[in-house]
Structure 1
Amino acid sequence: MSSFLKSCLRGPRMFWLGLFAITWGLSQFSFAIYKALDARWIVRFPKKYELPLDSWISSAMTWLVEDAHFGLFTFRDLTRFIAAVIELPYQFVRSLLIDGFSVGQGQQAIEVAPSISWIAIIGTMAVIALYARNAGLAMLAALCFAYLAIFGQWESAMVTLASVLIAVPIGVTGGLLLGILSYRHPWVEKALRPILDLMQTVPVFAYLVPILFLFGFGPVSALVATVIYAMPPMVRIATVALQSVPEEVKEAGRMVGCKPHQQMWKVMVPTALPSLMVGVNQVIMLTLNMVIIASMIGAGGLGYDVLTSLRRLDIGGGIEAGLAIVVMAIALDRVSQAFAIRRVRPRPDPAQPIYQRHPLISTSVALIVISTLLGIYLPGFRLLPESLTITTGSIWTAMMEWINVTFFDFFEAIKTFFLTTLLLPVKRFFSGIPWAWGVIVVGLAAGRVGGWKFGLMSAAMTLFIAANGLWAKAMITVYLVSVSVLIASAIGIPLGIWAGQSNRANSVIGAMIDTLQTLPSFVYLIPVVMLFRVGDFSAMIAVVLYALAPAVRYAAHGIRSIDQELIEAGKVSGCTERQILLRIKLPLAAPSLLLGLNQTIMLALSMLVITALVGTRDLGQEVYIALTKANTGQGIIAGLSVAFIAIIADRIVAALARNSQEKLGVK
């Protein structure tokens, strides 16, 4: 064995082949011993030596909420204050959009002011889109919001929009301020980096468990969870955007005598605004991605409609509410993207009347006032009458039933093929890996790629998972992610290569990928569950669809960024198109392909936790069970385990990308 290991260490290919061969052999052997002798300690960490971290964390959280004092106030007082600060504007926006303003409680409540008319909201969205770009975008935004009214989703959609209008400003403001701090103080950036890594890799469900414990069930808890989930990209983008401001711009600000705060807010932030708007777009999309998940702890709105439809197996209702989320996401995504690339326009003449200086704002205000006043006397102006709405639930239900009946044998054949030839063999391989060898092999692989410090850190993270009794579920998670990423890469990379070489293919595939990225993660579950029912195969399909986009985008970017002179040199040397692709384009695009693989793994892990709702038995299920039981310790430990898997995978693939760039001489 020692001589074999020495030979493996001589070269990178032999190292990886040897590591895989030993792991496969031990997996088969330990699985057989485990089945024959019931020796669970070989595969799983011994039960009596497991760390009771989950109970310690749960006890600490109980003490924090019930007994912790900070001088003049308790921790419970602090959480109530935060909840009140968030709830006040949320209730105001919700009243403005749908509920109306009233005095009193319950049946004794008296309405003192109506909500904004549905016509005014549609018109205002169209005006904002027109200001951001052009009449085409205004028409798209108006049609999207009109769809919500016509198809009977208006009230739920406005509840969801109220959450977005509160969570996005908090996330953007907090992210920008932290980004400014990171720019001004490098130590802040270094301190925030691991925190942001955890915030982006810990499963969303894991956020909900402690937040539910601290803030209780309701929309405030949902808003807090949404902000935590959506803020990290804004922090990262703000930091990079400020660091990318040209030095001559900074120098110009200093030459005219700007003070530090003026330099930041009047010079650097306006210069970095296009990049910052990309961060705003990301916050909006992540907020919409949270609406269904947040509905589990009281958010309400469209997310709650989708969740209840899934629980009742109401196919039509689930698809209707899911499409409403998609439509809203498309409108908000396109408008925010338009603001990101919007050109600065000259200021209007101050001598003109205000309605001439700001015609769009004046039009919006007039529309809001007139339609809302009419709504007091004509209910149809306040909310579209139910008799005029259209429901497609029965159509979707009938369509899905027809597809299931007609193509049942075909779908079952596909499902059986993938289960028997791919999923079950890979599952058996990972399930049989002994926990001790798993810790060693992760440490060796990480150390080989990223150095001994990273190897030790990876081994420690893997041991943490095993020592908390989650090894078996972690292996199920790794198996599902591995298979899903393999299939997503097998589909996405060829599509990306095609898009990178053909402008026509790029436009078609780009539109398809834009659509996939706009869809909130939960929406993928609805058709998959209806067609394939619950189980690992359904989870794999949903994960592949959700994680496909970065594999395509990074592959296309890598192919397009290759220097044309190198391609011409290959043609002059007599290379065929196939040889140019295999020997020039793909090796030079390898760093981009690896970065795409990195992002595919991250998206697969985030989606896999959500697929716990369709029957997977992995770490995602552990987090979901903790949420249903309000077990803070269990949820945090399981969430950290997923985060550690994500961090190890992220660092390994990033190190491989750096090594590939160094070999190619690319910075």
Structure 2
Amino acid sequence: MTAAAVETKIPASAEWMRPGRVAVLLFAVLSLVAFLLPDGVLPAWTRQLPAEFRIGLDTWISAALKWLVEDATFGLFTFKDLTRGFAQLLNVPLDIATSILSTGLLDGRGSSAIQLAPPLPWIAVVGVVAALGYRFGGSKLALLAGGAFLYLAVFGQWASAMLTLSSIVVAAPLGIAVGLATGVAGYRVPLLRRIITPILDLMQTVPTFAYLIPILFLFGFGPVAAMIATMIYAAPPMVRVTMAALEGVPREIVEYGTMAGTTPRQMITKVMLPAARPQLLVGVNQVIMLSLNMVIIASMIGAGGLGFDVLTSLRRLDIGRGLEAGLAIVVLAIALDRLSQAYAAGARKRDAEGGLKPFLFGLAAFVAVTYLLALFVPPIATYPEALQISTAPFWTDAVKWINVNFFNVFDAVKTFILLNLLLPVKRFMMAQPWPLVAAMVGYAGWRLGGARLAALVVGLALFPVVTGQWDYTMMTVYLCGISVVVAALIGIPIGIYGGLSPRAWRVIEPAIDTLQTLPSFVYLIPAVMLFRVGDFTAMLAIVLYAVAPSVRYAAHGIRNVPTMLMEAGTSMGCTQKQSLRHIQVPVALPTILLGINQTVMLALSMLVITALVGTRDLGQQVYMALTKADTGKGLVAGLCVAAIAIIADRLIGAAAQKLAAQRSGAVDAT
């Protein structure tokens, strides 16, 4: 076998397209013709469906929600009473957590409230977190977790961070409980699972701004509404993980439970859930991280805390304060992430070792002693303001210096990319008629997954047409598409390099971890300060936010190329470059495609955020609907974003499956 023979064993990335090259070429020609034709040549209905043929879904949704809030009744109480009562119920644990961590025990509300007892001292919270870190992961984790919370105190972010943490410690457990219960129900009832799956797809792809509006209508403005929005955003991964974990329980364990005479309920609670615990704890980690990602958006409906600080700084273009608050969220996220991961990794070992009661007793004694001391020694209760450090002036001055000295350079780069890349692509996309686009995605679906996938993607592509959102949808596809391409061109080479070099990966991994934990709003602050508002600024923020999956999946794919293929290539005389080009990259391509899929999802989720910097797409429609409390318009625009996301997910997923099947065949042949 020669090096060329090894190459033939690996499927080419475009193998599945070869039978349809004529169709692809035809679609390309038709798209170019549509772009070059003067305005008015194509019928007007191909660009925008006449109003009489559209469905008034936004009007129906707004009317239905208005009826629910104003007229719906159950006899003894109204629907509004029900939702407000539910909000009051959730407010009880939130008030308790806020009293313990942030405000202390208060008598009354607002400015007239009197503090009856102070919150936990900062030293107590830092000590508790460090102790948990030591128990879960040893001295290194104790230093990391304790140091992260100490950072919040030293840099003056303690009060806001504790308010944010109060919401997280309530929203995350509730999201975990709801997700676990729903996942168990979906596992036990296949019909329910088929119903749940598309709902989860919508929950994870509809922009969060879109369902903030109905939450405001139903639950009012305030921390409870923000907590409910956080739960809705964070629960879906727990549902999916629960169903997958229960399905993955070894058959022998299930048979053992059956032989022991367990009832269906005992089988779930006593056998399967304990067996699936490691996988379930991964879902717990995801809920915590998504809850933290939601803090800024939740601040728009009354959450407060660090998210509100970032949002306020963005509105004022105060880059220093915004970055400080954003980094505080990152620090808090890293601490909670490492603690939850360590707990998940060592849960069984700690259960076997025991010693929980002495640990909890010692922790309670430490908290009690520090709390009593804090009543008499103010520096123990609150970190001294005189010792606090602020980096806000440094960041603000740094941006000003960059603007003064490099404004012409940045402006030239922005203008060049805008005129030579963004605007031509934008004009091309906006010129495409909807019948042609629907035909193209339908053909792609048919080639990749058959008639069923084709029908799904065509139906989703027609949804923006019949709801009158086609122009905004194509604007979204343009900005998201070009951002994903740029992110992939940057991220995939970096990921490949990291996959080849463990030393380089040790540097790359913490960098992309930071990018994934930074709140999406934070990316807008430096982008706006350096490049002002517009499509280029939006693209830059989207690329920074969405590049991490391309890096991570590319590195993972390269590291997991079968050893037998590498050995076959080496024995046949392949150089390192030939091995990378003809073996590693083609074999890793299915994994790389999954990374691009995740990049698309993150880019779409960022589009609503970029509406704040002047974009004119579906994200702006969702944001404007939020400011005007137009529920129907916001949800319809959000569903259009979800349609784009699901089309991309299904097509890319089908392509990855085809390539993976071809790769398996090539490995078997080798």
Aligned residue number for residue 586 of structure 1: 585
Q: Which residue of 2 aligns with 1:76?
A: 80
CA distance in 1, matches of 2:574, 2:376: 77
Q: Does 1:174 align with 2:182?
A: no
Matched letter for residue 309 of structure 1: S
TM superposition outliers: structure 1 runs of 4+ over 6 Å: none
State the identity as a percent. Answer: 54
Q: 1:31-83 CA deviation, whole Å, 9 max, x = no partner?
A: x315xx89855522334543322122111110011111234332112101210
Q: Distance in 2 between matches of 1:458 and 1:262?
A: 42
Q: Deviations over 1:617-652 (max 9, x none)?
A: 110000000000000000010000000010111111
| Matched AA of 2:651 | I
Query: Which residue is equivalent to 2:362?
Result: 363
After superposition, where does 1:302-321 map in structure 2 within 5 Å?
A: 302-321=306-325
Unaligned runs of 5+ in 2: 1-15
53-62 or 11-20, which deviates more: 11-20
> Are 1:399 and 2:407 matched, yes or no?
no
| Pairwise CA distance, 1:323 | 1.3
Question: How far apart are the structure 1 equivalents of 2:491 and 2:114?
Answer: 57
> Which position in structure 2 is the counterpart of 1:528?
527
Within a 5 Å distance, the mapping from 1:160-309 to structure 2 comes to 160-309=164-313
Q: Is 2:27 aligned against 1:19?
A: yes
Count of aligned positions: 651
Tell me what 1:114 maps to: 118
CA contact (8 A) 1:222 1:298 kept: yes
Instruction: State the Cα deviation string for residues 593-638 of structure 1 (Å, max 9, x = none).
Output: 2211211111111112211112111100000000000000000100
Q: Which residue of 2 aligns with 1:5?
A: none
Q: Which amino acid aligns with 2:400?
A: E
Task: Give the conservation status (yes or no) of the 8 Å contact 2:69–2:218.
Answer: yes
Task: Report deviation, 1:556.
Answer: 1.7
Q: Summarize the Cα distance change of 1:208–1:371 in structure 2 as closer, same or farther, 3 Å threshold.
A: same
Q: Which amino acid aligns with 1:261?
A: R
Q: Which amino acid aligns with 2:293?
A: N
- Give the Cα–Cα distance (whole angstroms) in 2 for the partners of residues 475 and 487 of structure 1: 18
Give the C-alpha shift of residue 500 in structure 1: 1.9
Residue aligned with 1:115, SS: coil
Q: Does 1:53 align with 2:61?
A: no
Q: Aligned partners of 2:356 and 2:316: how far apart in 1?
A: 53
Query: d(CA) in 2 for partners of 1:579 and 1:558?
Result: 17
**How far apart, CA to CA, are the structure 1 residues paired with 2:272 and 2:27?**
50
Counterpart amino acid of 1:268?
Answer: M
Q: Measure, in 2, the Cα distance between the counterparts of 1:582 and 1:9.
A: 20
CA contact (8 A) 2:208 2:233 kept: yes
Corresponding letter in the other structure for 1:392: T
**How far off its partner does 1:266 sit?**
2.8
1:286-316: CA deviation from partner (whole Å, max 9, x where unpaired): 1111100011111111111111111111122
Structure having greater relative contact order (Cα 8 Å, sep ≥ 6): 2
Equivalent position amino acid for 2:142 in 1? A
Q: Give the aligned residue type for 2:514.
A: T
Could you tell me which residue of structure 1 aligns to residue 496 of structure 2?
A: 497
Question: Partner of 1:477 in structure 2?
Answer: 476
Summarize the Cα distance change of 1:411–1:103 in structure 2 as closer, same or farther, 3 Å threshold: same
Deviation of the 1:108 alpha carbon: 5.3
Q: 1:662 to 1:347 in 2, by over 3 A?
A: closer
Deviates more, 1:82-91 or 1:563-572: 563-572
Within a 5 Å distance, the mapping from 1:418-567 to structure 2 comes to 418-567=417-566
Q: For 1:139 and 1:544, locate their aligned partners in 2 and report how far apart those are by CA, in whole Å.
A: 33
One-letter amino acid of the structure 2 residue matched with residue 564 of structure 1: T
Matched, 1:620 2:619: yes
Verify: 1:89 aligned to 2:93, yes or no.
yes
The answer (yes or no) to whether the contact 1:27–1:434 under 8 Å persists in 2 is no
Going from structure 1 to structure 2, the CA distance change for 1:211 and 1:585 (only over 3 Å counts) comes to same
Match of 1:63 in 2: 67
When the two chains are superposed, the root-mean-square deviation of aligned CA atoms in Å is 2.2
In 2 relative to 1, CA 255–50 (structure 1 residues): closer, same or farther, beyond 3 Å? closer
Partners of 1:42 and 1:178 lie apart in 2 by: 43
For residue 111 of structure 1, give the secondary structure of its aligned residue in structure 2. Answer: strand
Measure the CA separation in 2 of the matches of 1:605 and 1:618: 11
Q: 2-side partners of 1:357 and 1:76: how far apart?
A: 45
Say which of 159, 162, 172 aligns to 1:158: 162
Residues 173-182 or 503-512, more deviating: 503-512
On the 8 A contact 2:306/2:328 being kept in 1, the answer is yes
Between the aligned partners of 2:277 and 2:404, the Cα distance in structure 1 is: 53
Q: CA deviation at 1:483?
A: 0.7
Give SS of 1:11's match: helix
Deviations, residues 461-513 of structure 1 (Å, cap 9, x unaligned)? 22220222211111111011111111111111112222222221222222222
Per-residue CA distance 1:147-168 (angstroms, 9 max, x = gap): 1111111111111001101110
Query: What residue is the counterpart of 1:605 in the other structure?
Result: 604
Residue 329 of structure 1 corresponds to 333
After superposition, the Cα gap between the structure-2 partners of 1:76 and 1:383, relative to the gap in structure 1 and judged at 3 Å, is same
Q: Deviation of residue 105 (structure 1)?
A: 4.3
Correspondence for 1:33: 39
1:606 counterpart letter in structure 2: S
Provide the residue aligned with 2:7 in structure 1. none
Deviation at 1:86, TM superposition (A): 1.0
Change (3 A) 1:9 1:249: closer
Residues in 2 aligned to 1:599 and 1:108: alpha-carbon distance in whole angstroms: 48
Query: Counterpart in 2 of 1:3?
Result: none
The answer to which of 592-601 and 59-68 deviates more is 592-601
For 2:266 and 2:648, the matched residues in 1 are separated by 42
Give the counterpart letter for 1:646 in structure 2. Answer: A
Q: Which moved more, 1:372-381 or 1:78-87?
A: 372-381
Change (3 A) 1:104 1:489: closer
Give, in whole Å, the separation in 2 of the partners of 1:288 and 1:596. Answer: 22
Residues 282 and 420 (structure 1), Cα distance of their counterparts in 2 relative to 1, 3 Å cut: same
Give distance in 1, aligned partners of 2:130 and 2:586.
47
Name the stretch that deviates more: 440-449 or 72-81. 440-449
TM-score normalised per structure 1: 0.93
By how many angstroms is 1:349 displaced? Answer: 9.2
Query: How far 1:9 moved relative to its partner?
Result: 9.9
Counterpart residue identity of residue 33, structure 1: D
1:347 CA drift (Å): 5.7
Q: Secondary structure at the match of 2:300?
A: helix
Aligned residue type for 1:303: G
Q: 1:408 to 1:108 in 2, by over 3 A?
A: closer
Q: Which amino acid in 2 is paired with 1:133?
A: G
Q: Bigger CA drift: 134-143 or 358-367?
A: 358-367
Tell me the amino acid that sits aligned with residue 187 of structure 2.
Y
Match of 1:380 in 2: 379
C-alpha contact (below 8 Å) 2:288/2:336 kept by paired residues: yes
Q: Secondary structure at the match of 1:377?
A: coil
Whether the 8 Å CA contact 2:463–2:643 is kept in 1: the answer is: no
- Gaps of at least 5 residues in structure 1 are 1-7, 351-355
1:555-613 CA-partner distances (Å, limit 9, x unpaired): 22222222111121122222222222222222222211221121111111111221111
